[in-house]
Amino acid sequence: MKPKSQRLFLIGAAVAALIISALLAMPALREGAAYFYAPADLAAADVEPGQPLRLGGLVEEGSVMRLPDGVTTTFRVTDRLESVPVRYSGIVPDLFREGQGVIADGRLQADGTFAAETLLAKHDENYMPPEVAEAVARAEAEAKARPAN
């Protein structure tokens, strides 16, 4: 083999091996590299109360309540499988709203509620102008109103 094609083969094989091994290894880090637990992960993981962790998911529709003290908000975080009640005292981010993603840093209490110390809003991959969002919402409402058959 000419030295040039030998180098081509060796370096090509090394790069391919490197990338394939990374592609195999990285998804396996799933738990370790995750930024937050989803409610279903939390239920499966059997976490001790009081241990600091991050909880992420969607704010359940109709679950947000402002308590009369004026600073505390309670809501449920759901991943459509499980849901966890959350209590947070402080200013919620601008994008915090029902049906949107949220990540809470805090601790699970003994009574099963999650006491959040910081709250981050997550957003999804959809970008659209308000008129389009309204049209989508209207179409969804109409689809829901039609009797299912």
Partner 1 sequence: MHRFANPARFLRLARPASAVCFWGGLLIAAIGLYWGVFAAPADYLQGESVRMLYIHVPTAWLSMSGYAGLAIAGFSALVWRHPLADVALLALAPVGAVFSAVCLITGSIWGRPTWGTWWVWDGRLTSMLVLFFLYLGVIALARSYDEPGRGAKMASILALLGLVNLPIIKFSVEWWNTLHQPASITLSGSSIDGSMLWPLLTSALGIGLLMASAVLMRMRALIAERKVSARLARLAAA
Could you tell me which residues are annotated as the binding site? 123, 127
For residues 144 and 56, give the distance between their C-alpha atoms in angstroms, rounded to a whole number. 28
Question: CB under 8 Å to 63, separation ≥6 — which residues?
Answer: 74, 75, 76, 83, 98
- Angle at 36 (CA atoms; ends 136, 25), nearest 5 degrees: 105
User: Which one of residues 59, 84, 103, 108 is an interface residue with partner 1 (CB under 8 A)?
Assistant: 103
Residue with tokens 């094989």: 13
User: Which residues lie closer than 8 Å to 102 by C-beta, 6 or more apart?
Assistant: 56, 57, 58, 59, 77, 96, 119, 120, 121, 122
Q: Looking at 46, 69, 94, 111, which residue binds partner 1 (CB under 8 A)?
A: 94
Least distance (Å) between residue 41 CB and partner 1: 8
Verify binding: residue 141, partner 1, rule CB under 8 A.
no
Out of 132, 138, 139, 140, the residue judged to bind partner 1 by CB under 8 A: 132
Whole-number Cα distances in Å, 77 to 18, 28, 80, 132 = 39, 26, 9, 27
Which residue's CB is nearer to partner 1, number 1 or number 148? 1
Out of 13, 44, 128, 139, the only residue in the binding site for partner 1 (CB under 8 A) is 128
Question: Is there binding between residue 67 and partner 1 (CB under 8 A)?
Answer: no
User: With CB under 8 A as the contact rule, which of the stretches 2-10, 69-77, 80-88, 140-148 interacts with partner 1?
Assistant: 2-10
What residues line the site for partner 1 (CB under 8 A)? 4, 7-8, 11-12, 14-15, 18-19, 22-23, 26-27, 29-30, 33-38, 56, 93-95, 100-101, 103, 118-134
